[in-house]
Homo-oligomer: A and B are copies of this chain.
């Protein structure tokens, strides 16, 4: 399996570079880019796993989320520069519902097919659920409603104010997890679980591979974005559908791969940390940074989503809270999350 992915990269990445220089047909290149990204993502998953064994589930999950979202941040900044605010908001929405419902759902479903009941650290889950509620239900919904009768200047002021508060709270969350309450909510089992294993790669090697893979993913993703218009016309997909569903699936391929791998190995702590932690990083870090960065560009981006986007995110959060809150999962909980994702997918397709 690992060899197949290596071969895919060895063929796919050079082909991506050559194809984009020689302007091969968009729909063909769309397939090449997607496969290449998925293959590179599998390598990133292995590197992250090695780092996870060395660093423990939390920091490992954090590292993974960081490397997964670096790609998105870069692509979004290019899109903002081009004034494509709608596309950026759509891809933020897609990352939130994709990570919670698709990554979370696949992890629970595939892990649950192998194991009857899977447990994960309920303290971490509740910590994350609190932040999900804060970021989506409070920090995204408040500007949605409050700006309905505001002018543009006030809308941007509110967006920037909320963004600053979110970044501060995000940093406070890191300080809480890594400094003041490090290991306070750790269960004994999970600690022992980690000591048993031997990492595939050394710390240094894993970091180098992760860095190179991120660069390669960034390049290929950036190329991929330029095929969307042609692919959309070919398959009859709207810009909203591409932003919310396609960009999010390909852009979060790394999270998908490693979360499912972890779930399959019954390391649900890491799988849940990736699914929810990655969502939190998008909502509390990437989105606010983009709002603030957009002030430098001609058109500023307010933190105001369309009504279908905000409703999709809010209902995803409610479903995740209810599913995750007991610290246990099974295949049916995964199926429920996936069913919700399909419903939203159909909705965005028809919009």
Contacts and interface: CB of A to CB of B under 8 A. Distances in A.
Interface of A: 116-117, 126-127, 129-131, 133-134, 137-139, 141-143, 145-146, 148-150, 154, 157-158, 161-162, 165-166, 168-169, 172-173, 176, 180-181, 184, 307-308, 311-312, 315-316, 318-319, 321-323, 325-326, 330-333, 335-336, 339-340, 342-344, 346-348, 350-351
29 contacts: A116-B181, A127-B332, A130-B319, A130-B333, A130-B336, A133-B318, A133-B319, A134-B319, A137-B318, A142-B311, A142-B312, A142-B315, A142-B344, A145-B311, A146-B348, A146-B350, A148-B307, A149-B351, A158-B346, A161-B343, A161-B346, A162-B346, A165-B346, A169-B335, A169-B339, A172-B332, A176-B330, A180-B331, A180-B332
Contacts of A165: 339, 342-343, 346
Contact of A134 (B130, B141, B340, B347): B340
A287 to B, nearest CB: 14
Given A126-B326, A139-B343, A350 B176 contact: no
The A contact surface, by secondary structure, is: helix
A330 B181 contact: yes
A332 B335 CA distance: 33
A184 B133 contact: no
Nearest to A307: B145
Given A143-B347, A145-B307, A343-B139, A332 B173 contact: yes
Given A133-B319, A181-B332, A332-B181, A343 B154 contact: no
